[in-house]
């Protein structure tokens, strides 16, 4: 019998002790990480206990949206960028209305230094809520380093507008340039094969032209003119002293008259009332809302921030439920979203609610459209609710164009605002082929075919006339389906729908005149109409947002990844605003390239409508979870 030597036994014991020590050390590390993460979760969750008497501070450091986009943990960590800050418009309006009625809130404060903007309809909804605060005899005070168009519109509803002495306020109006790649693709020998129906369906123009077509120019001249008129009317109604005509007719002269001082020029134009830095502004708020007993920093004042205020003021859930399904962002195939309208996801949300005892359904649409198949999937799911005999209404936000109008066709009544963008009834598809580029580099295609369509689509060898004809016919048939759905919904002839269709985009005011919209109004108006149709009185119903349990608070993941908003973005002046627009244009180039290159089916999409969407700034990750993962790494 062999025995182990003492040396070997001693070595084995040392290895075993090392393994045990490593195990115990790892257990301790993971235990500490668990409690660290638990603390992070608890501190990130907004608490009603943080509500204090004083001002309600709305520090809007991003974009006002219809539906907050989903934060992807791994995508965000891999990019190293904090997700753009987003503010749900319905939450925001609810919070402001609650502040108007609550005696603890003495004033509402807007900090717009990092405000990116939002759709015009959303801004007007928030502005109307601020007007209700002022009607309740509570002041609304706004401050920013610099205001651009969206900030000017929102701040015009304040009782006092302040700007930093080194800042200003600038108005440029809607519109601008879009990029066209026709000559570039030609130089690259890429054949962008376009299949479309609609004289005004301009979504394909960037891939085949070098400039905007005359029909598209006519359409968007009318559209932007209507939006600009609504913007001016809204600002002047809220702030009659604003000299918009002088400011926009001769911006250089207006600027020079103030000696080149942008802040003074803004005050001379009636866009702002006071010049002062953040400390001076804070002292003014403290005079109205009270001093901060726990903060002795210069400019501090008693305040409650948005998230704990929302947590302290949940939505009413008494009475019968009226379902609200949100279709926000581009409509795509699959489960994408929230923030993107994944057709399968939204159809599933609607189908899961079929067994709920809903008194009615409101479809809230804020989308430039997208996939025809996904739009049809959503439309069919809405029809399954309509088949139950409940009233169905559509509430259009900023956009309900192309696929956004397709999903609106089941409604018994369509609500929109005068500056809603809608219509764009048309369909297209783009298929890039590379036969010219391949031949140039000595690559040729050849083979045996049993039919004219064998091997099609052949992206390298090109498409024969038969394939071109078949694809164009497929698009024309899809357009016919679109026309028939609108005709049945709006009680029009197919010829009339075709006349106002053709891919043309309409403002909400014109859309109402031509019968694409029934009446002006927002989400609350649509809900009240459904309640009336369901024979429900005031207090007998509440809105139930389908598939969005976390609607009353920001996502915990976003909070843990991002942390304090001050760490994400800094206050910006005019040049900072220009830099933000440059980033947006670069993002648009990437999106255009992706749209051309990725495989997708028929599209009911409004390109110019999509260009009105705002994208918030990004920054480095600063939240608890990001720091924890960085520590482990």
The residues that are catalytic are 201, 402
* 3-class DSSP assignment, residue 34: helix
**Is the distance from CB of 432 to CB of 460 less than 8 angstroms?**
no
* 3-class DSSP assignment, residue 60: coil
Residue 338: asked if its preceding bond is cis (omega within 30°), the reply is yes
Describe the chain by its helix, strand, coil percentages, rounded to 5. 45, 20, 35
Distance CA 463, CA 300 (A): 68
- DSSP for 5-28 reads -HHHHHHHHHHHHHHHHHHHHHHH
- Name 108's bridge partners: 56, 140
Bridging pattern class, strands 86-88 and 603-605: unpaired
Distance CA 118, CA 580 (A): 14
| Full 3-state SS string of 399-467 | EEECHHHHCCCCCCEEEECCCCEEECCCEEEEEEECHHHHHHCCCCCCCCCCCCCCCCCCCCCCCCHHH
- Name 57's bridge partners: 109, 305
Bridging pattern class, strands 105-111 and 140-147: parallel
The closest alpha carbon to 157, from 105, 93, 103, belongs to 93
Residues with Cβ < 8 Å from 346, sequence gap 6 or more?
325, 327, 337, 377, 378, 381, 547
* Angle made by CA atoms 433, 481, 489, in degrees to the nearest 5: 140
Bridging pattern class, strands 331-332 and 341-342: parallel
Cα Dmax for the chain: 107
Distance CA 472, CA 466 (A): 10
Bridging pattern class, strands 160-169 and 274-275: parallel
Identify the residue whose tokens are 């004219």: 452
**Is the distance from CB of 263 to CB of 272 less than 8 angstroms?**
yes
**Is the distance from CB of 505 to CB of 200 less than 8 angstroms?**
yes
Distance CA 482, CA 514 (A): 17
Run of H or E including 61: none
Run of H or E including 228: helix 214-238
Rg over alpha carbons for the chain, rounded to the nearest Å, is 28
- Name 414's bridge partners: 394
262-286 in b/e form (b: 16+ CB < 10 A) is bbbbbbbbbbbbebbbbebbbebbb
Run of H or E including 191: strand 191-197
């Amino acid at each position: 019998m062999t025995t182990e030597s003492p040396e070997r036994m001693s070595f084995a014991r040392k290895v075993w002790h090392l393994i045990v020590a490593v195990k115990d050390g790892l257990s301790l590390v993971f235990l500490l990480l668990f409690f660290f993460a638990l603390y992070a979760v608890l501190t990130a969750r907004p608490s009603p206990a943080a509500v204090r008497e004083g001002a309600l501070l709305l520090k809007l450091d991003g974009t006002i949206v219809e539906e907050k986009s989903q934060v992807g943990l791994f995508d965000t960590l891999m990019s190293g960028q904090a997700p753009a800050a987003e503010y749900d418009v319905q939450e925001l309006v609810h919070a402001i209305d609650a502040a108007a009625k609550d005696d603890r809130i003495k004033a509402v404060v807007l900090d717009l230094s990092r405000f990116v903007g939002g759709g015009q309809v959303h801004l007007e909804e928030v502005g109307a809520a601020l007007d209700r605060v002022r009607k309740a005899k509570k002041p609304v005070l706004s401050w920013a380093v610099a205001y651009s168009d969206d900030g000017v519109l929102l701040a015009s509803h304040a009782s006092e507008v302040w700007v930093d002495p080194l800042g200003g306020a600038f108005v440029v109006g809607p519109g601008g340039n879009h990029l066209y790649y026709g000559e570039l693709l030609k130089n690259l020998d890429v054949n962008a094969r376009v299949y479309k129906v609609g004289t005004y369906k301009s979504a394909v123009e960037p891939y085949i032209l070098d400039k905007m077509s005359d029909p598209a120019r006519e359409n968007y001249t009318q559209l932007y003119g209507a939006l600009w008129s609504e913007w001016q009317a809204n600002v002047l109604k809220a702030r009659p002293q604003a000299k918009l005509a002088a400011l926009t007719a001769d911006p250089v002269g207006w600027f020079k008259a103030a000696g080149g001082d942008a802040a003074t020029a803004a005050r001379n134009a009636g866009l702002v009332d006071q010049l002062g830095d953040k400390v001076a502004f804070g002292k003014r708020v403290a005079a109205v809302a009270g001093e901060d007993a726990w903060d002795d920093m210069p400019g501090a004042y008693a305040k409650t921030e948005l998230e704990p205020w929302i947590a302290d003021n949940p939505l009413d859930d008494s009475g019968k439920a009226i379902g609200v399904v949100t279709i926000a962002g581009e409509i795509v195939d699959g489960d994408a979203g929230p923030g993107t309208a994944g057709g399968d996801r939204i159809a599933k949300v609607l189908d899961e609610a079929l067994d709920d005892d809903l008194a009615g359904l409101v479809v809230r649409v804020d989308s430039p459209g997208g996939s025809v198949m996904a739009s049809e999937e959503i439309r069919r799911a809405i029809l399954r609710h309509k088949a139950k005999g409940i009233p169905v209404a559509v509430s259009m936000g900023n956009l309900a164009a192309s696929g956004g109008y397709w999903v609106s066709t089941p409604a018994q009544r369509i609500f929109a605002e005068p500056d809603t963008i809608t219509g764009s009834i048309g369909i297209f598809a783009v298929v890039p082929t590379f036969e010219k580029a391949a031949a140039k580099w000595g690559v040729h295609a050849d083979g045996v075919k049993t039919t004219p369509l064998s091997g099609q689509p052949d992206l390298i060898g090109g498409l024969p006339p038969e394939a071109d004809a078949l694809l164009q016919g497929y698009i024309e048939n899809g357009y016919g389906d679109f026309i028939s759905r609108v005709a049945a919904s709006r009680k029009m002839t197919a010829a009339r729908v075709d006349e106002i269709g053709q891919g043309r985009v309409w403002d909400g005011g014109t859309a109402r005149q031509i019968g694409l919209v029934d009446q002006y109004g927002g989400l609350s108006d649509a809900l009240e109409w459904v309640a009336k149709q369901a024979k429900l009185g005031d207090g007998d119903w509440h809105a139930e947002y389908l598939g969005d349990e976390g609607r009353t608070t920001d996502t915990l993941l976003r909070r843990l990844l991002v942390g304090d908003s001050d760490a994400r973005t800094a206050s910006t002046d005019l040049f900072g605003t220009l830099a933000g627009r440059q980033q947006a244009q670069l993002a648009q180039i990437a999106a255009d390239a992706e749209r051309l290159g990725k495989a997708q089916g028929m599209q009911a999409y409004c390109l110019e409508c999509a260009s009105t969407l705002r994208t918030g700034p990004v920054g480095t990750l600063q939240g608890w979870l990001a720091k924890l993962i960085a520590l482990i790494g």
